[in-house]
């Protein structure tokens, strides 16, 4: 039986809630709310919550808005 050994460089980084908060410039409690409501996909390892970098990128892209090409002038 052949076994594949995966190195850290071959796996995607798992981020802590505090790291997600720092990246998004929001509070850690808001990160946990976004996770709890399913807006940010996560992985649970016992009591620890981790977010894959790819899932965080999807959240960011999904919440991105385009600039209004016709801004309202008052």
pLDDT at residue number 7: 55
Q: pLDDT (tens digit, 9 = 90+) per residue, 26-73? A: 999 999 999 999 999 999 999 999 999 999 999 999 998 887 777 777
CATH number for region 11-62? 3.90.105
pLDDT at residue number 71: 73
Provide φ and ψ at 35, rounded to 5°.
-70, -45
Q: How far is CA 1 from CA 6, 10, 39, 53, 64, in A?
A: 16, 21, 40, 32, 46
């Amino acid at each position: 039986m052949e076994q594949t050994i995966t190195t850290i460089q071959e796996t995607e980084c798992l981020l802590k809630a505090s790291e997600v908060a720092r990246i998004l410039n929001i509070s850690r409690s808001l990160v946990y709310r976004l996770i709890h409501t399913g807006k940010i996909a996560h992985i649970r390892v016992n009591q620890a919550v981790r977010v894959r970098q790819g899932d965080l990128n999807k959240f960011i892209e999904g919440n991105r808005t385009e600039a209004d090409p016709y801004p309202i002038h008052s």
